[in-house]
């Protein structure tokens, strides 16, 4: 009698193994949690890895202050339900302390400012490992990352000096002040994530489903009309049926036109698309060919 795991259960097993390895090997891990689909999958994996005990790490959200309100409401409700500790690292507070300078102008964004807030919070709490929901299929710099991705004392990443990872052997060795980013979903695709969410019947923020919203078009993307992004001459808001593939900062995250109001419809939509989620909906990756890699070298997620 043979027993073969489905591809989703094989991915799940690998990710749970990674999370347990981190819990065993590091003193102060933390799970980076945005309320988005990938971090929600991480939370479900943590439940399967560690329940009925509490998670052996807190969750941490780097809050830009310009997040979608639907996502913040969902985040708080989920944390209450989980009964776990949430650390909120605030970009607004970093600005008030003079640690970063607010950008100005119609294309200003707080997305890049998150790096300083993230590194400050990791140092303040002494976290030596940080789970992230990044996947290799998202973007070329993320495709270069190891599952255990070493960061130096300045929080920086050097893509040319990565440690080999043979089979399921991971190297978490680091000195005080250094840390490791851990990506349990590295081998997942966006479609895998959506299929897993559907199979597990996970609750997700409402903006992932098609809804009517006031939007405007800029640089080929649909932005939500919001108080953080002033309109440029010639831009006219209009109402459309849209949904989101990512839930980043409102100043750099675009929507896609969609009629998908159920998980089944979202899975079908993602299976048919030929454009990556970041390519279609993230302005921060359009700054240059190496925009993500430049940010990651500086300590970004």
Residues 6-36 have pLDDT tens digits of: 999 999 999 999 999 999 999 999 999 999 9
**Contact partners, residue 159, CB within 8 Å, separation at least 6:** 141, 144, 293, 296, 297
Residues of the chain with pLDDT under 50: none
**How many CB atoms within 10 Å of residue 220?**
9
**Contact partners, residue 129, CB within 8 Å, separation at least 6:** 22, 25, 26, 28, 29, 30, 172, 179, 180, 181, 182
State the Rg of the chain over Cα: 19
To 5 degrees, how large is the angle CA 275–CA 292–CA 59? 95
Q: Is the peptide bond before 52 cis (omega within 30 degrees of 0)?
A: yes
* pLDDT score of 220: 87
* pLDDT score of 106: 83
* pLDDT score of 92: 95
* pLDDT score of 111: 84
Distance from CA of residue 210 to its chain's centroid?
Answer: 21
* pLDDT score of 109: 85
Residue 264 phi, psi (nearest 5): -60, -45
* pLDDT score of 29: 98
Q: What is the pTM of this model?
A: 0.92
* pLDDT score of 167: 86
* pLDDT score of 287: 63
Q: Which two tokens stand for residue 196?
A: 């897993």
The neighbouring-strand residues paired with 232 are: none
* pLDDT score of 297: 83
Residue 237 phi, psi (nearest 5): -65, 150
Helices (H) and strands (E) in the chain, counts: 10, 10
**Contact partners, residue 42, CB within 8 Å, separation at least 6:** 15, 31, 33, 131, 133, 184, 185
């Amino acid at each position: 009698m043979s027993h073969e795991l489905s591809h989703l259960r094989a991915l799940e097993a690998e990710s749970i193994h990674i999370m347990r390895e981190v819990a065993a090997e590091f003193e102060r891990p933390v799970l980076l949690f945005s309320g988005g689909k990938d971090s929600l999958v991480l939370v479900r994996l943590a439940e399967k890895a560690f329940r009925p005990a509490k998670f052996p790490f807190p969750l941490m959200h780097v809050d830009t202050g310009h997040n979608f309100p639907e996502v913040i409401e969902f985040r708080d409700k989920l944390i209450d339900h989980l009964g776990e500790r949430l650390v909120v690292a605030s970009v607004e507070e970093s600005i008030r302390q003079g640690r970063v300078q607010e950008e100005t102008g119609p294309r200003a964004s707080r997305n890049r400012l998150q790096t300083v807030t993230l590194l400050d919070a990791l140092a303040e709490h002494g976290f030596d490992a940080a789970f992230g929901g990044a996947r290799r299929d998202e973007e070329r710099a993320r495709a270069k990352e190891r599952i255990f991705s070493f960061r130096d004392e300045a929080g920086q990443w050097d893509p040319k000096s990565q440690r080999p990872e043979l089979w399921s052997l991971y190297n978490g060795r680091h000195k005080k002040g250094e840390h490791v980013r851990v990506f349990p979903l590295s081998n997942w695709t966006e479609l895998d994530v959506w299929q897993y969410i559907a199979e597990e019947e996970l609750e997700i923020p409402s903006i992932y489903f098609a809804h009517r919203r006031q939007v405007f078009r800029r640089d080929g993307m649909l932005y939500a009309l919001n108080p953080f992004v002033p309109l440029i001459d010639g831009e006219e808001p209009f109402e459309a049926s849209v949904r989101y593939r990512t839930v980043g900062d409102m100043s750099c995250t675009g929507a896609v036109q969609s009629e998908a109001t159920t998980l089944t419809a979202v899975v079908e939509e993602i299976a048919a698309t030929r454009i990556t989620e970041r390519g279609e909906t993230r302005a921060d990756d359009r700054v240059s060919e190496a925009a993500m890699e430049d940010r990651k070298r500086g300590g970004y997620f």
